[in-house]
Structure 1
Amino acid sequence: MDYDDCMLQLNDKVLLDKLYGFAYKRCNSAGEAEDLCSDILVSVLSTLRKNPEITHFHGLLWTIAHRVYADFCEKRKKHTLIQPDELTDCLHVSDNNVDTFLETEEDRRLVQSILREISFLAKIYRDVMVFYYLDRLPVSAIAKKLCISETAVKQRLFSARNTVKEEVLKMDKQYTLKPVDIAFIGTGNPVGNDPRSKAERVLSKNVVYLCKKEALSAKEISEKLGVPMPFIEDELDIQLKGENGTYGLLRKLENGKYIANAILLDLDELEAGTKVYKKHLVAFCQGIKQAVEENRNQILSFPFLSRQKDPAFLLWSLISGIVWELDGAVKEVLKSKYFKDTETIRRDFTLIGIAVKPEETLNIGFYGCDGIKSPIGGQNICGYSSVFVSNVYGAKLEKHFSCGHNISSDPLLLITIRSIGGLDINSLSQQEKEYAAKAVECGYLQVDRETLTPKIIVIEEASKNDFYRLLPDYSPFLKDLAETIAEDLYQLIKQYVPKHLIQEYPMYSMASSIRILYEVIEYCIAEGILTTPTNQLNAEGVVMVVKK
């Protein structure tokens, strides 16, 4: 099907009705749906210009529609950050100029016809929604008012999503995509910098995995996957830019080919590194146990702002740092001994991916730690100029919050902050009591008679560094252990990390050590060194740091 045929298909009223229905179902207003349709139209025209021969126009249209909608959601999310008095100027503004992609008068005539039809549909859809949900008119009355059939009213109310899915499924049958999943692990600040948000589809993961170690052209990728070139070109563009426009999962070489921009490991390559760490697990854990026993009194005498009396509970907030300290010591040996002349990559956020095939199971027992902080120079929060909260999460603990979470809009965290020093339950309103009950349920607070106090660890900002140094200096013990581990890891890095990504070699050490935190936690729970959480969502691993 050539360009002209596609343009005629695009001007079909039934198709435009489906397209507008797709948009309206996902938007807050008719005007917003018009903007989304316009963005989809621009993307379709751009693709048609680049690829004049299209084998399945409907499949192309709906695939583009879904992709553009994903981008549209990102734009809409950014608009929520705009101040209310600025909002009016930002709504219903299209970033795209349709005329840019039109070359002939006939093109312009067709597109104007399409846009007129979309505007007409916008009014119809808007009227249907108002008549049905606000005026409470039955379907038959709406049909009479708008001079359309009752079936058309129902279609506009429910926007027939199945039709869209059928078109995409037709296209999917031509694919030879492999069911490769990629689990991504990152380090740094993911907010606004996370390229994995653009690689959630099967096609995305297949394209990235194909370029794991071998540079390929768009044509080669298209042939290997059996996917038409227009889809591959769009996908490559997405994976080059990522979320922030500069850090994607692919990079383009000078010869025009594409190669992975993040280390991708097969499962056996990851497990080889994990085994290097696991050989020393028992010795490492026994060292932790001895340190806790020898420093029990020092730990309990720390000036907490919340009542703490169990070292096994406190250790939940220190255990990640201890394991990461081992990983850091290993990286230091790698740098000083094996990669002296290699400058490591520096960016806000960096990923490593583990490819998992259908017959494989990824079980890394992952534990992570996310932290959030009140904005610098922002509003005072419950009498504190600065508040930082972190939470450990993983196999035994559910995540309370993620990076980017807003402390000042979280009522459970706010009432926890207010409870520092004690908060009289009788002084709370009914709404506040409900928040307090939820904070007790999730482990933030505890009740002592008629008073609420934090159950989580709360400390002053001035004593933060002292808290994380509660256990004695591990350097001599860790250094010997790190030397041995680094020697073995170096051989694996040479084998599994591509030369063009060698600056990211520390990510292999980090990924290899991830399961070790899980193994250490399991061992320490079994030995009574760590408390056993009573619930998945609990106080263990949550630290709040405040400053007056």
Structure 2
Amino acid sequence: MENSAVYEKIKESIDIIFSFALKRVSNRYEAEDLSQEIIMNLYKSAHGLKDLNKFHGWMWAISRNVFKAYLRKNIRNNNLELSEKVYFNLEYTSYVNPMEQEQIQLLYRELSILSGFYRETMNLYYIKGKSCDEIAERLNISVNMVKQYLFKSRKKIKEGMNMIRENGERSFNPRKFSIYAWGASGNYCNEIFKKKLPGNIMLEAYYEPVLIEDLSIELGVASVYLEDEIRVLKNYNLLREMRNSKVQSNIIIFTKEFEEELHNKTNKIYSNVACNLMDFLNEKEDEIRGIKFKGNDMSKNTFMWQMATFCLEEAMITRFLEEVMKSMSADGDSSQEYMWGLERKYGDNNFDLGIFKYNDRMNNLIRGIDYYIVDRKVQGLCKKVVGEVVIGIAQGDYGNLSIHEEDELMNLIQSGYVKNDFGDMSLNMPIFTKEQFEELKNILDPAIEKILMECKEIGPVTEKLLKNYAPSFVRDQIPVIASLKQVEAFIVNTMNNMYLQRGIEIPKPCNELLSAFIVLADQKELK
């Protein structure tokens, strides 16, 4: 293989290598020295890499070896001997001399880092004073296994107690993380990541497999607490078990560096898309209102929100994404579920979004997008009981409601989603017949197709960039996840640019649903 191709990959990975170094040493100066040493070793070894697809595994192996050599330079002189006969009684540690106290604290530190049976056997043998036979019975393993765990644990602890350990930056400065999903069942993992720890485990284990002990040091959390979180993440297939008890994130994560580079390469395109879309909607406004759908007298600002959102949703989801999903599925099934992570929280971008719809058994439709920046949301309207009430009001049929539906109706009125004019109910969103909706799509089709064309041109940029940031083992996920990212980025950035160019505003208070509508399947005319 040409060394120049490897050199180029090394250059692209400089920021990632520096991040690796910064997480493992105490300051930026040491991180610069360590990362330079790693890069130098990568260049020296470039001739040995025969397959460029194995670059990331090769890079991390060399990085870890260089880091181990760095640690050996930082061993401190300590004459600790941890024999098989040592026993620490917790009740009396406050009475020992300062030197012994320091040794005991170091032991506790290393015990907190050990995971699984390594920690359990050491705790039972050295702290609880149990025999190997008693430990074997309690842990349901053989006596020989107990002795092996103790032997390996003593070796680990001795090395660790003789080593200068610094908690990683993430022990006091955790990174942000959120989980996104596409599919019928919704984001069922969202609750897991309301805590900081699971997301930081995912981020630390993304580019390379890690031991629980390494996570313990970096995150400043004892292994015994990490194990419960890791078990949950593995149950949801978000982490995978590797050799030597290591774990690695099992989904693509859009890191902060990836999102910044993608934004820098594409934002000018989105600015132009937003400008062209606003011009088109202004030109077609009278024709669209002339369809005479219910709600066609909406304010100019609401009109721009509704129609821009519809164009983007129709282009990116109904046309682009469904085409991508079907082309990547062997049986043509476009309903598969996908999940990915972001190194930020939902709402860090004002136009972070959620996409929702509800179809009843008659194929009446509620459809919309929630933007973080807008207070009035559509998600709650797309649940079964509420959706049935909303569609009933749209049809003028709300006289025979169940007790649960009446409760939901009262909530909708109190929240301002439904207007009650002396018993005459009306919705705060546009309502189309099937024929009116088809007419709307025909009018907007030139704008929708132009958006679709722009999207297909940007798509390869997103996919190529993601290949530079994603570990090799998740490469099979890249085409679909890059497309899902493209959908999100296109809608978010176009709407954000419309907002910055003052094509749309946030009304205060927001009394209307700015980005949701209803399509009725069985009525030709609405009064």
- TM bucket normalised to smaller: 0.5 to 0.7
Q: Partners of 1:210 and 1:496 in 2: how far apart?
A: 14
The answer for the alignment partner of 1:263 in structure 2 is 252
Partner of 1:400: 377
Q: CA deviation at 1:288?
A: 1.3
Q: Which amino acid in 1 is paired with 2:393?
A: R
Unaligned 5+ segments in structure 2 are 1-114, 125-137, 142-166, 523-527
SS at match of 2:253: strand
Q: 2:393 aligns with which of 418, 421, 428?
A: 418
Residue equivalent to 1:471? 444
**Cα gap change, 1:255/1:463 in structure 2, threshold over 3 Å: closer, same or farther?**
farther
For 1:457-512, what per-residue CA distance to the aligned partner results, in whole angstroms no more than 9, with x for missing partners?
Answer: 22345765554554023466346634653454344222112222223334345446
Give yes or no for the alignment of 1:370 onto 2:356. Answer: yes
State the distance in 2 between where 1:391 and 1:475 align. Answer: 16
Secondary structure of residue in 1 paired with 2:365:
strand
Match of residue 539 from structure 1: 513
SS of the residue 1:296 aligns to: helix
- Provide closer, same or farther for how the CA distance between residues 435 and 299 of structure 1 changes in structure 2, counting only shifts above 3 A: same
Report the AA paired with residue 204 of structure 1. Answer: P
Q: Counterparts of 1:193-342 in structure 2 under 5 Å?
A: 194-225=188-219, 227-242=221-236, 248-253=237-242, 256-302=245-291, 304-305=293-294, 308=297, 312-324=301-313
SS at 2:272's partner residue?
Answer: helix
**1-structure distance, mates of 2:220, 2:339:** 28
Instruction: Quote the Cα distance in structure 1 between the aligned partners of 2:293 and 2:330.
Output: 43
1:351 is matched with 339
Q: Which of 497, 502, 524 in structure 1 is aligned with 2:470? A: 497
Alpha-carbon distance, 1:395 to partner: 3.9
The residue type equivalent to 2:177 in the other structure is: I
Letter of the structure 2 residue corresponding to residue 363 of structure 1 = N
- Report the residue type matching 2:351 in the other structure: G
CA contact (8 A) 2:312 2:448 kept: no
CA apart distance, 1:204? 1.5
Which amino acid in 2 is paired with 1:232?
A: L
Question: Residue 320 and residue 306 in structure 1: after superposition, are their counterparts in 2 closer, same or farther (change >3 A)?
Answer: closer
Secondary structure at the counterpart of residue 473 of structure 1: helix
Maintained 8 Å contact 2:311/2:448:
no
1:297 shift after superposition: 4.1
2:369/2:378 contact within 8 Å kept: no
Quickly say closer, same or farther: Cα 1:233–1:217, change in 2 above 3 A: same
Name the structure 2 match of 1:145.
none
Q: 2:179 aligns with which of 161, 164, 184?
A: 184
Query: 1:367·1:394 contact (CA, 8 Å) conserved in 2?
Result: yes
Report how far residue 299 of structure 1 moved.
1.6
Aligned 8 A contact 1:262 1:501 in 2: yes
For residues 546 and 482 of structure 1, the distance between their equivalents in structure 2, rounded to whole angstroms, comes to 30
Please give the per-residue CA displacement for 1:141-198, whole angstroms capped at 9, x wherever unaligned.
xxxxxxxxxxxxxxxxxxxxxxxxxxxxxxx9xx94751220233322344x633433
Which deviates further from its counterpart, 230-239 or 456-465? 456-465
User: Which residue in the other structure is 1:17 paired with?
Assistant: none
TM-score after normalising by structure 1: 0.53
Q: In the TM superposition, what is the alpha-carbon distance from 1:300 to its structure 2 partner?
A: 2.0
CA RMSD of aligned residues (A): 5.1
Native 8 Å contact 1:444 1:455 kept in 2 = yes
**Larger % of helix: which?**
2
The residue number in structure 1 matching 2:108 is none
Q: How many equivalent pairs are there?
A: 366
- Correspondence 1:142-181 to 2 at 5 A: 176=171, 178-181=173-176
Amino acid at match of 2:514: E
User: Is the CA contact 2:216–2:226 (under 8 Å) kept in the aligned structure 1?
Assistant: yes
User: Which residues in structure 2 correspond to 1:405-484 (within 5 Å)?
Assistant: 406-408=383-385, 414=389, 417-418=392-393, 420-421=395-396, 439=412, 442-446=415-419, 451-460=424-433, 467-468=440-441, 470-474=443-447, 477-478=450-451, 481-482=454-455, 484=457
TM-score under structure 2 length normalisation: 0.54
| Percent of pairs with identical residues | 13
Residue 15 of structure 1 corresponds to: none
> Is 1:52 the counterpart of 2:124 in the alignment?
no
Q: How does 1:10-21 map to 2 (within 5 A)?
A: none
SS at match of 1:292: helix
Higher mean C-alpha deviation, range 459-468 or range 289-298: 459-468
The one-letter code sitting in structure 1 at the alignment partner of 2:353 is Y
Distance 1:188 1:462, change over 3 A: farther
Match of 2:92 in 1: none
1:269–1:538 distance in 2 versus 1, CA, 3 Å: same
Distance 1:290 1:219, change over 3 A: same
What per-residue deviation string (whole Å, max 9, x for no partner) do you get for residues 381-400 of structure 1?
Answer: xxxx4543234322442253
Determine the C-alpha separation between the residues in 2 that align with 1:320 and 1:419.
21
Question: Structure 1 residues 368, 315: CA separation in 2 closer, same or farther (over 3 Å shift)?
Answer: farther
The one-letter code matched in structure 2 to 1:459 is F
Secondary structure at the aligned position of 1:52 is classed as helix
Distance in 1 of aligned mates of 2:232 and 2:465: 31
Q: Does the CA contact (< 8 Å) of 1:416 and 1:454 recur in 2? A: no
Please say if residues 350 and 372 of structure 2, whose CA atoms lie closer than 8 Å, have aligned partners that are also in contact: no
SS in 1 for 2:293: coil
What code does the residue aligned with 2:207 have?
A: K
Quick check: 1:485 aligned with 2:458? yes
